[in-house]
Structure 1
């Protein structure tokens, strides 16, 4: 397995729970632009938390000094946070946790607690990895995945839309799941994956979209080729997202809860509203990427022309 030397757990939330228990975390500084599962886990574990902002390059804008028992939670959005920057933040703040859920192939910085999740990248129902220098003293129950595989098998033989409700239910399932070891089924599936081939395809697709759409992208992306999705930010992103559904291109909103925490004049609100995470995964090739590019360019031009006539 990729990350074979890490602690193998049932989900990303369990990675945070593992650190809370071993590191005695009392408080977390969290970015406003964040999945609500992390916030919900903090509430569940009774971890005090405080939000901070991110900037125009998706970089952390955190200037406070961490108090005793407090940790800085860093989200590596679309792989835009380099290991050099993580190392600098480690020196500056010491107690940091890196969320590499969107950068699976980026290896951790030595001595930095780093977590990864598997569902965003591969055809598995669960699974997460955690790099840490502490070990849980109590034994953990092992998870079982066989009853949660139906939507994945169904999506392979039929359309994804038929099993969308099951997919959502599987995501929600982990809200109340306890900390467990990764299931044997998930581990076995992860041992049968061509990681280098998948990384190559994802980077190639990312580079293609950036080459074709980068000049219109309102995000300041660095030169590193991402492997999760291509974040295309445009004015009226929410409207374009709806129109893309008619083209059979389904773009998620990352993350809708952000708009509940933030006011409309905050950058994080605009990120949640207008960033279109475009698919680049290993199921797709250049023909698919060109279909996405053509659809995006057509809809952006259409929306711009409609604004001009109003």
Structure 2
């Protein structure tokens, strides 16, 4: 049954906006942050984690920000000493943080940022812990942004929580055609899981690629589609959180000592984790073997050369990590099967 999870987000902010994509929500945060900057006669600077997706950094680059990357520790928590050095050296107007997999709390680092200068805008991407805002919420964060479509099967969707009113003049009209195309492609993809019709597979993959090409432009901020908004109203957030939490704990237990994993994952066991990141010697080979056995394990994420130069730990994770699904589509027995498949594929 629906539990009104997304409606409850109003408890944690002055304003909640549902937008089309996570990258567009970040662009919206970028525009509004620039409006709040007191000195507008200089290029604004934002500090960014070295381990990040291009779709997180691109909205800021496109809207005129200078990006400076900060280091992470081996467990993907923030290297706070290095962050402090950058705060003093760059005097940034904003800092972007991310709670990776729900296991890398950012509260201590954000407190340092606000102690240094309380005017700095803190933007947290909580896409990896969309369904545990109660556990991670920090009053010092100015914007919380999450790409909803990465957590549930909606055709489009992102949410942005803001501590103050935003200029909604940046939000353009809905692009319903995009959502309709994505919905059709997702429906056909679901049918393919049963039919294995290769012609239909080619068709829905072409549509998905077309949609990705549209959104990669990052030229505008658009609202979530009416179709997706209706789907969100049917979500049971507590149920999703419970399923993810139980699947994570079970799969972690099955793989512990058998497969290398990013350290510190046990810290997410009480939240609603995004996926289980494993570490492999050869990403391409491991990904291919897993795919041949029915497990889609994406790379999160390739990182840019500048970020690589800054952080050896981010570079290592980018080159060796695969993301294993543990979401609400799966159950206890699925985790058993996935664990057996992973151990088999990585040891043959």
Runs of 4+ in 1 over 6 A off after TM superposition: none
Report how far residue 267 of structure 1 moved: 2.3
- The 5 Å alignment of 1:197-208 reads 197-208=239-250
Matched, 1:110 2:143: no
Q: Distance in 1 between matches of 2:307 and 2:106?
A: 29
> How many residue pairs align between the two structures?
302
Paired residues of 2:6 and 2:232 also in contact (CA < 8 A)? no
Paired residues of 2:69 and 2:310 also in contact (CA < 8 A)? no
SS at match of 2:299: coil
Matched, 1:217 2:253: no
Moved more, 133-142 or 272-281: 133-142
Measured against aligned partners, the alpha-carbon deviations of 1:115-149 in whole angstroms (never above 9, x if no partner) come to 11111111112111111123233443342222331
Q: Distance in 2 between matches of 1:54 and 1:83?
A: 11
- The 5 Å alignment of 1:230-241 reads 230-241=276-287
Q: TM-score normalized by structure 1?
A: 0.87
Q: What's the Cα RMSD here?
A: 2.6
Report the CA distance shift for 1:275/1:19 in structure 2 as closer, same or farther (over 3 A): same
Moved more, 108-117 or 201-210: 108-117
Paired residues of 2:290 and 2:296 also in contact (CA < 8 A)? yes
Report the CA distance shift for 1:246/1:259 in structure 2 as closer, same or farther (over 3 A): farther
* Structure 1 partner of 2:181: 147
* Structure 2 partner of 1:308: none
Q: Choose between structure 1 and 2: higher helix proportion.
A: 2
Q: TM-score normalized by structure 2?
A: 0.78
Report the CA distance shift for 1:86/1:2 in structure 2 as closer, same or farther (over 3 A): farther
Question: Which among 188, 193, 196 is matched to residue 238 of structure 2?
Answer: 196
Q: What are structure 1's unaligned runs of at least 5 residues?
A: 303-310
Matched, 1:130 2:176: no
Q: Distance in 2 between matches of 1:300 and 1:264?
A: 30
Q: Distance in 2 between matches of 1:49 and 1:117?
A: 21
Report the CA distance shift for 1:35/1:291 in structure 2 as closer, same or farther (over 3 A): same
- The 5 Å alignment of 1:1-310 reads 1-4=4-7, 5=10, 6-24=16-34, 26-61=44-79, 62-63=83-84, 64-65=86-87, 67=90, 70-82=93-105, 84-85=107-108, 88-89=111-112, 91-92=114-115, 94=118, 95=120, 96-107=122-133, 108-112=137-141, 113-139=143-169, 140-143=171-174, 144=176, 145-159=179-193, 162=201, 163-176=204-217, 177-215=219-257, 216-221=259-264, 222-225=266-269, 226-258=272-304, 261-262=307-308, 266-302=312-348
SS at match of 1:262: helix
